Amino acid sequence: MIFDRNEKKEVIALLGAGSMGTAIVRRIAAGRKILLGDISETNLEKVSHDFQYSGYDVETMRVNALEKSSVEAFAEKAASLGDVKYFIDTAGASPHQTDPAHILHLDMVGTGYAVDAFGKVMAQGGAGLIISSQTGYMYPIPYETEQEILNTPTEKLMDLPFIKETAMQNSGWAYMIAKRINHLQVMKAAATTWKARRARINTVSPGVIVTPLAYDEFAAAGEGYQQMVDASAAERCGTSEEIAEAGAFLLGEHAGFITGTDLLIDGGVIAAIRTGQYKLHR
């Protein structure tokens, strides 16, 4: 049976087929073409099956977000399917899953590759969304260092003294710094390459969100996460669906004047830290 006879559909590209990204896509995918990219063939098959059996038009592509050529091929594939109107990037690793170098290569450099690659193929009026983290607010990078980062090509970020001397100290620091740099990468793109395409790009910074991958963090540092949640104004964890609501807004027409910025969605964790209600242990 042919579910949709429409041709020349707008394209949504999702890099990292996890629960937050797929929840966002479901908000905006009706009548559009979905391209899923992930390093796991098993994950791609499962998520693609779920979308197809919900009536969505979906294709998949195995992508290694650590490799520039793989990310660029993903962007080119998206463009071959039609006008790329939406790009969402959720690819990343959490602090207790791997070492500092891997986190920085994936969450910082890999994200930069994606922002750069899709900055070359986005359609006019398109929008991008990078999933960052509340941790991007937990390590204030000096202004001079941020300026150096903004003026460094993605391929050279790992060579910066700040990355080698500070971010590489442990996985927690690497993650916080990578997520702050995501904010800077998007700010730069919004003002340069994405602007040239007449497209917008933003980040969202989720707090403690319950996802399958989050259970790795809860198992490794559950007490710390519990204290963080208890100190927050919401006094609970968030859900992928809540992130999706905000993500769909930032990608949609009602956010047409919003670009190059971050939306913190953390239930009040950062507010608790900034006001001294919770003491962060790095």
CA 51 to chain CA mean position, Å: 20
List, for residues 230-253, the tens digit of each pLDDT value: 999 999 999 999 999 999 999 999
**Between 224 and 110, residue with greater pLDDT:** 110
pLDDT given for residue 30 in this prediction: 95
| pLDDT exceeds cutoff 70 at 220 | no
Domain boundaries, the chain: 11-208+241-267
Q: How far apart, in Å, are the Cα atoms of 258 and each of 115, 129, 253?
A: 17, 11, 10
pLDDT given for residue 271 in this prediction: 96
pLDDT given for residue 221 in this prediction: 67
pTM: 0.95
Alpha-carbon span 37 to 71, nearest angstrom:
9
Secondary structure letter of residue 212 according to DSSP: T
* Angle of CA points 233, 235, 241, to nearest 5°: 100
Please name the CATH architecture into which domain 11-208+241-267 falls: 3-Layer(aba) Sandwich (3.40)
| pLDDT exceeds cutoff 90 at 137 | yes
pLDDT given for residue 12 in this prediction: 98
**DSSP strand pairing (33-38 vs 11-15):** parallel
| pLDDT exceeds cutoff 90 at 273 | yes
Residue 3 binned pLDDT confidence (cut-offs 50, 70, 90): confident
List, for residues 88-125, the tens digit of each pLDDT value: 999 988 887 889 999 999 999 999 999 999 999 999 99
List, for residues 156-211, the tens digit of each pLDDT value: 999 999 999 999 999 999 999 999 999 999 999 999 999 999 999 999 999 999 88
Q: Hey, which residues are catalytic here?
A: 175, 179
List, for residues 55-78, the tens digit of each pLDDT value: 999 999 999 999 999 999 999 999
130's CB contacts (< 8 A; 6+ apart) are 89, 111, 114, 115, 182, 185, 186, 201, 202, 203, 204
| pLDDT exceeds cutoff 80 at 47 | yes
